Amino acid sequence: HFTQVVWKSTTEVGVGLASDEKTVIVVGQYKPAGNITNEGYYMDNVLPA
């Protein structure tokens, strides 16, 4: 999700990839996790454009 990518308090991103002849799987892990919907978290971590 876009909001996780721009989440201000996230400082690390890890990416993994696995594939075979027919399939490619890409996984992203964010640390600390963001995109939290608790009150106030969005306004504190997603800056205006």
Q: What is the pLDDT of residues 1-31, one digit of tens each?
A: 889 999 999 999 999 999 999 999 999 999 9
Task: Please tell me the pTM assigned to this model.
Answer: 0.71
Quick one: pLDDT at residue 1?
80
Neighbours of 31 (CB within 10 A): 11
Neighbours of 4 (CB within 10 A): 16
Domain that holds residue 39: 2-45
As for how many domains the chain has, the answer is 1
Q: Does the pLDDT at position 37 exceed 90?
A: no
Q: Taking residues 29-46, what's their average pLDDT?
A: 92
Using pLDDT thresholds of 50, 70 and 90, give the confidence band for residue 44.
very high
CB 28 within 8 A of CB 13: yes
